């Protein structure tokens, strides 16, 4: 008994010491390479920060065996112990805040969360390029801080700049919308913010490496038996040039992005990741990408196993590398490239070209410069700061769009509207507000919590979730609306309706939602405000035409502070965009 007690005490003591040793300090992550504490490698030429990057890259590549090179062609790149180079996970995400969608980011311990900005479709609706760049700057501060603490990579596969041409697409929310010029400006601004702005010229250093994805003509995930792994987008040269490729070109040429990701789908019968015209001739030769081309995750496997694009796997490996692919998100190239070299289908020189592109980005990030560098002092205190969270609130306020406001129903007044009925499946939304490709936010303010800052609230969900399968709770919602001074209905969608791998089959509100809105509007004593959360457009013609619906506010997915922003707009302490162009675009759905 006592022996057991003392050994567990001993164990706890050891644990405390171990935890203490691993607790965050400015240099807690072992340097990726060129550790000054490693005398065997620190004097190698590729570690000399004073030499030009291309010299260092050639030196490192010249030391690698064929097998070592091949294990660097994939996202979970292997270590090369004898040269003091650690393994590296290339896949991190930062679409609208540091996200743990990829394996490169881990929340917990010193980094329980990160600032979760509105989903991109909302932020884009601000039409504010300096806001987009400022968000990128803040996200990269938090990304560097998490990298320093061993909780993130430095290569973020964001933003998504696909043109949203098909409103049924489940990933509308991730994009800045349907306008090629706006999407291009968003791409340039966000990428500059992430990568370090104007000082990241074509040979410059990188704060983090962004990635414009998914190249190209990709806006179908899974619809009515068609999926992105088998879809062949038939696109004319003019449409490619005028529409789909506009953001990618701007991202590379103006934004100096460090990476482009090719998509799952085929374009005119060829998988984009194996198309030398799209990759080598366009991204590299015409646009002069200074960076690497990465596949969408497992898309090299997809073009072999699902699209049957080549007869043998080594042909698929060779086809992608020859087309200009530098990095495979997935294991395919690590497994099949050696056979492709042995059979003469791809040369070792072509593999060296691919590695030169990836390793150059790592050098520009300072990953071969040891533990020091301009961002070495960023740590946990630089994540979720009050200023960062305030920017998330500002972005949500600027992104909200007023679609309808009759009889000056808005703004509400805390004096006249003392009691507000807050109704609807998104009325107390938290995780729904951050959409997909999100992380763990610093905290949430739901619409109900936001409105409670201005008025007494009476709360009814009305529906069981946004799918709203029944009308059993409608009576309670009507009673609440009948007795309140104003009614706010927070309706719309969430990831159960629109998501990656989940396209919509209808542009109307799900099931009984429309009926709930109409019945509550009929019962309501005061003004009725409809707040919509959605990434893709919703046809709300019925509410536009219903005189009892006084106002409609589109919120997209407004991020961690979305409820506060909605309440600020409802009560007039913030002014929403009321651009009729945006309103018309949302309400009038183009024939698909
Ligand atoms: C645009 O964003 C910037 C940066 O956050 C901000 O200072 C400015 O006020 C915003 N402009 C408008 C018109 O809201």
Q: How far apart are the CA of 132 and the centre of ligand 1, in A?
A: 9
Ligand 1: which atom is nearest the Cα of residue 126? 14
Banded pLDDT at 17 (limits 50, 70, 90): very low
State the pLDDT at residue 197.
55
- Residue 254 beta carbon below 6 angstroms from any ligand 1 atom: no
Instruction: List pLDDT tens digits, range 158-214.
Output: 999 999 999 999 999 999 999 999 999 999 999 999 999 554 444 589 999 999 999
- Residue 517 beta carbon below 6 angstroms from any ligand 1 atom: no
State the pLDDT at residue 577.
66
In the annotation, is 242 catalytic?
no
Ligand 1: which atom is nearest the Cα of residue 131? 2
Q: Atom 9, ligand 1: which residue's CA is nearest?
A: 131
- Per the CB < 8 A criterion, the answer to whether 97 and 148 are in contact is no
Phi-psi region of 177 (alpha: psi -120 to 50; beta: other; left: phi over 0): left
The CATH 3.20.20.300 portion of the chain extends over 66-77+211-364
Q: Atom 14, ligand 1: which residue's CA is nearest?
A: 398
Tell me which of 115, 124, 398 to substitute to probe ligand 1's pocket, judged by most ligand atoms within 8 Å of the beta carbon: 398
Burial of 377 (0-12, 13-18, 19+ CB in 10 A): middle
Query: Which pair of structure tokens corresponds to residue 53?
Result: 């990057």
Q: How far apart are the CA of 269 and the centre of ligand 1, in A?
A: 44
As its CATH architecture, domain 66-77+211-364 has: Alpha-Beta Barrel (3.20)
Query: Which pair of structure tokens corresponds to residue 232?
Result: 């062949």
Ligand 1: which atom is nearest the Cα of residue 391? 5
Beta-carbon contacts of residue 286 (< 8 Å; ≥ 6 apart): none
Query: Which pair of structure tokens corresponds to residue 418?
Result: 């003392």
Question: Would you say residue 560 has pLDDT above 50?
Answer: yes
Query: What's the fold here for domain 7-12+381-591?
Result: Rossmann fold (3.40.50)
Q: How far apart are the CA of 130 and the centre of ligand 1, in A?
A: 6
Instruction: List pLDDT tens digits, range 402-454.
Output: 999 999 999 999 999 999 999 999 999 999 999 999 999 999 999 999 999 99
Distance CA 156, CA 148 (A): 15
Q: Atom 8, ligand 1: which residue's CA is nearest?
A: 131
- Residue 360 beta carbon below 6 angstroms from any ligand 1 atom: no
Distance CA 384, CA 407 (A): 40
Mean residue pLDDT of the chain comes to: 93
Distance CA 358, CA 31 (A): 18
- Residue 296 beta carbon below 6 angstroms from any ligand 1 atom: no
Single out the residue of 463, 467, 436, 461 nearest to residue 446, CA to CA: 461
- Residue 398 beta carbon below 6 angstroms from any ligand 1 atom: yes
Element holding 261 (H helix, E strand): strand 259-262
Q: Which of 179, 219, 296, 315 is catalytic?
A: 296
The CATH 3.40.50.1700 portion of the chain extends over 7-12+381-591
State the pLDDT at residue 198.
55
Tell me which of 126, 130, 135 to substitute to probe ligand 1's pocket, judged by most ligand atoms within 8 Å of the beta carbon: 130
Looking at the DSSP bridge assignments, the partners of residue 222 are 227
Instruction: List pLDDT tens digits, range 518-550.
Output: 999 999 999 999 999 999 999 999 999 999 999
Tell me which of 123, 125, 128 to substitute to probe ligand 1's pocket, judged by most ligand atoms within 8 Å of the beta carbon: 128
- Residue 134 beta carbon below 6 angstroms from any ligand 1 atom: yes
Q: Atom 4, ligand 1: which residue's CA is nearest?
A: 131
212-215: strand order across its sheet:
212-215, 259-262, 292-295
Looking at the DSSP bridge assignments, the partners of residue 502 are 499
Instruction: List pLDDT tens digits, range 99-133.
Output: 999 999 999 999 999 999 999 999 999 999 999 99
- Residue 574 beta carbon below 6 angstroms from any ligand 1 atom: no
* Helix-, strand-, coil-residue percentages of the chain, each rounded to 5: 40, 15, 50
Instruction: List pLDDT tens digits, range 440-476.
Output: 999 999 999 999 999 999 999 999 999 999 999 999 9
Instruction: List pLDDT tens digits, range 104-113.
Output: 999 999 999 9
State the pLDDT at residue 48.
96
């Amino acid at each position: 008994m006592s022996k057991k007690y003392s050994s567990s005490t001993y164990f706890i003591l050891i644990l405390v010491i171990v935890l203490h040793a691993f607790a965050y300090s400015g240099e807690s992550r072992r340097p990726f390479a060129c550790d000054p504490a490693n005398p065997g490698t620190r004097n190698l030429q590729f570690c000399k920060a004073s030499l030009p990057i291309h010299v260092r890259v050639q030196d490192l590549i010249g030391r690698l065996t064929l097998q070592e090179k091949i294990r660097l062609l994939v996202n979970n790149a292997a270590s090369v112990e004898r040269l003091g180079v650690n393994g590296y996970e290339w896949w991190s995400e930062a679409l609208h805040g540091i996200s743990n969608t990829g394996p490169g980011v881990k929340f917990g311990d010193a980094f329980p969360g990160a600032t979760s900005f509105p989903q991109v479709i909302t932020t884009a609706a601000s039409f504010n390029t300096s806001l987009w760049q400022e968000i990128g700057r803040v996200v990269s501060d938090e990304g560097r801080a998490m990298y320093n603490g061993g909780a993130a990579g430095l290569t973020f596969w964001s933003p998504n700049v696909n043109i949203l041409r098909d409103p049924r697409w489940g990933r509308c929310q991730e994009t800045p919308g349907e306008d090629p010029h706006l999407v291009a400006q968003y791409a340039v601004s966000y990428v500059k913010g992430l990568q370090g702005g104007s000082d990241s010229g074509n040979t410059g250093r990188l704060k983090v490496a962004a990635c414009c994805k998914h190249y190209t003509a990709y806006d179908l995930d899974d619809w009515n038996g068609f999926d992105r792994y088998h879809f062949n987008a038939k696109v004319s040269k003019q449409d490619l040039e005028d529409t789909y490729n506009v953001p990618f070109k701007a991202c590379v040429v103006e934004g100096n992005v460090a990476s482009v990701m090719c998509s799952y789908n085929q374009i005119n019968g060829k998988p984009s990741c194996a198309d030398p015209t799209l990759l080598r001739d366009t991204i590299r030769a015409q646009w002069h990408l200074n960076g690497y081309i990465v596949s969408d995750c497992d898309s090299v496997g997809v073009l072999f196993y699902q699209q049957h694009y080549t007869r043998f796997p080594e042909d698929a490996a060779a086809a992608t590398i020859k087309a200009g692919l530098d990095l495979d998100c997935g294991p395919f190239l690590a497994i099949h490239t050696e056979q492709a070299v042995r059979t003469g289908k791809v040369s070792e020189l072509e593999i060296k070209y691919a590695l030169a592109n990836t390793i150059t980005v790592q050098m520009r990030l300072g990953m071969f410069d040891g533990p020091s560098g301009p961002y070495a002092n960023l740590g946990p205190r630089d994540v979720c700061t009050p200023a960062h969270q305030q920017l998330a609130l500002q972005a949500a306020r600027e992104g909200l769009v007023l679609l309808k406001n009759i009889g000056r129903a808005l703004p509400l007044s805390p004096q006249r509207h003392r009691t507000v009925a807050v109704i609807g499946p998104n009325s107390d939304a938290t995780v729904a507000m951050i959409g997909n490709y999100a992380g763990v936010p610093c905290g949430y303010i739901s619409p109900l919590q936001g409105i409670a800052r201005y008025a007494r609230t009476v709360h009814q969900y009305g529906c069981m979730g946004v799918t709203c399968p029944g009308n059993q709770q409608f009576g309670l919602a009507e009673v609440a609306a009948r007795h309140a001074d104003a009614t706010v209905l927070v309706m719309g969608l969430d990831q159960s309706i629109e998501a990656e791998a989940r396209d919509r089959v209808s542009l109307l509100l799900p099931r009984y939602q429309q009926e709930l809105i109409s019945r509550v509007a009929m019962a309501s004593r005061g003004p009725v405000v409809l707040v919509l959360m959605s990434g893709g457009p919703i046809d709300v013609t019925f509410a536009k035409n219903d005189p009892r619906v006084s106002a409609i506010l589109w919120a997209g997915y407004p991020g961690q502070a979305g409820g506060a922003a909605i309440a600020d707009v409802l009560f007039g302490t913030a002014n929403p965009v009321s651009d009729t162009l945006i309103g018309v675009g949302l309400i009038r759905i183009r024939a698909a």
